[in-house]
Amino acid sequence: MFTGIITDVGRIARVEHRGDTRFRIETGFDLSTVAIGASIACSGVCLTVVDKDTGWFEVDASGETLRKTKLGTWVAGSPVNLERSLKVGDEMGGHIVTGHVDGIATVVSVEPEGDSLKIGIQAPEGFARYVATKGSVALDGVSLTVNDVSGDKFWINVIPHTQEMTTFSRDLVTPGTKLNFEIDVLARYVARLQEWRA
């Protein structure tokens, strides 16, 4: 479980295609405190550490993960938002993020609004009903507040701090950018309860 508060932006160092796809990710994390088998959210995808050394760790992604996320587009040099899993007693700074990506959203507009960026996003097909004004979404692992919703599109504002500490910078997010999209777990269960009542 995660909070959507990014603590490092890593970089893909190597992509190895075998039965599954193995990614080597460079990071500033102190990996002496990360166990083999630990979970790390990599741009919002919960992945298991299968190897590590100073300055890097490796994860495997199955075919299903590559189909449901944008990990299949990663190449050497791709930036990756990183968050270690939540420990009991840690501060809950964002919202509950599972690392189970629902689909791929698409940036449709980016415009400055003060020092922030106002970003318009098209939700993946079938998921717009889970997005609510003032609710939360995780995009590439970043916990963000929805400012407005219209049909299958919604808007977020990204403050300068978030631009600096994540991949949501002016030069990395442009119209057409694909984002790993996870709905708020609370929205998921509310929708399921409504289905049972119907």
pLDDT value for 94: 76
Cα–Cα distance for residue pair 126/171, rounded to 1 Å: 29
Residue 136 phi, psi dihedral angles, 5° rounding: -115, 150
pLDDT value for 153: 98
Q: Where are the domains of the chain?
A: 8-84, 103-197
Burial state string for 133-156 with b = 16 or more CB within 10 A and e = fewer than 16: eebbbbbbbbbbebeebeebbbbb
* pTM score: 0.92
Cα–Cα distance for residue pair 161/170, rounded to 1 Å: 12
| pLDDT, tens digit, 9 for 90 and up, residues 140-180 | 999 999 999 999 999 999 999 999 999 998 888 999 999 99
Lowest mean pLDDT among 101-105, 127-131, 167-171, 184-188: 184-188
Task: Answer positive or negative: Cα dihedral of 62, 67, 68, 71.
Answer: positive
Domain 8-84 has CATH 3.90.78.10: no
Mean pLDDT of 13-28: 96
Q: Which CATH architecture has domain 103-197?
A: Beta Barrel (2.40)
Instruction: Name the average pLDDT for the chain.
Output: 92
pLDDT value for 197: 67
Confidence grade of residue 41 (pLDDT, cut at 50, 70, 90): very high
Q: With 0-12 CB in 10 A as exposed, 13-18 as middle and 19+ as buried, what is 115?
A: exposed
Q: In CATH terms, are 8-84 and 103-197 the same topology? A: yes
- How close are the terminal C-alpha atoms of the chain, in Å? 31
Q: 83 near 167, Cβ under 8 Å?
A: no
Top-confidence residue, 184 or 198:
184
pLDDT over 90 (residue 196): no
pLDDT value for 18: 87
